[in-house]
Amino acid sequence: MSKTHISSFRSYRRAQQSELITFQTIVYETDLWIAAHKDLSEPVAEYVRQLRGQIQAYAAIFPEFFTSLTPMAASSHAPEIIKRMCAATQLVQVGPMAAVAGTIAQMVAEYFYAQSPDLLVENGGDTFLFSTKDRQVGILSIPDQDLRLCVRVQATEFPCSFCASSAKIGHSLSFGNADVVVVRSQNASLADAAATALANMLQDAQDIELVINKAKSWQDLGVQGLFAQCEGQVGVWGQMELTIL
């Protein structure tokens, strides 16, 4: 996941899952890191091209889809990826592209799950994971100490998603000043959109309580947990059992 210390070279991409192989798939701006039982890089790339093509085709008809900072309703004939993005972002009142990375991560994981029941898909700090065993999912990298802050997830809690937003790292638009906001949900579209919305609210450390309360208010929507860091202060809520690796 994203953090102040994480470099643009994605130094946070490290795996402790020795029984899985890892590979990277890049299709234009989509940069996936995947851990699975076998190398799925070629079929994953083809599927991502299909998903991106659907987004491009939809935006050709509705150009505001790429630029809107407020929610949009999907047309009745929109492809599944568009419907998921629009539905999630309507719930937390952000623009549809705020959910693109998480949605792609989940749809890739769901599409290839039958070929690898242990499947961890990360897309620029947004993850969706299937697992048959307990895992420790990294949400914060501290390279100068060679440590990672992780969330312990039991096998019975998968599938799940952790999505991050930051004003300090990455190219996504943020109106806040968050070092990082990480949201947990079983719906990666929602986790991604919520992380963006909460990071926009986080202007300084005094806003952490406000952000936590907002996350709590979205619990009925499917938000399960939150980690927020700003100006050296940290706030944690929900299903976020933290551990250090």
Q: What is the CATH number of the domain that holds 82?
A: 3.10.520.10
pLDDT at 60 over 50: yes
Q: What are residue 139's phi and psi, to 5 degrees?
A: -120, -10
11 is a domain residue: no
pLDDT digits (tens, 9 = 90+) for 127-169: 999 999 999 999 987 666 677 899 999 999 999 999 999 976 6
5 is a domain residue: no
Say how many domains are in the chain.
1
201 is a domain residue: yes
187 is a domain residue: yes
Domain extent, residue 211, equals 21-244
215 is a domain residue: yes
16 is a domain residue: no
6 is a domain residue: no
DSSP 88-140: HHHHHT--GGGGHHHHHHHHHHHHHGGG-SSEEEEETTEEEEE-SS-EEEEEE
In this structure, how many other beta carbons lie within 10 angstroms of the beta carbon of residue 220? Answer: 7
Q: What is the mean pLDDT of residues 58-62?
A: 98
Q: Nearest-5° angle of CA 13, CA 14, CA 20?
A: 115
Q: Could you tell me if 201 and 211 are in contact, meaning their C-beta atoms sit under 8 angstroms apart?
A: yes
181 is a domain residue: yes
At residue 7, the pLDDT reads: 29
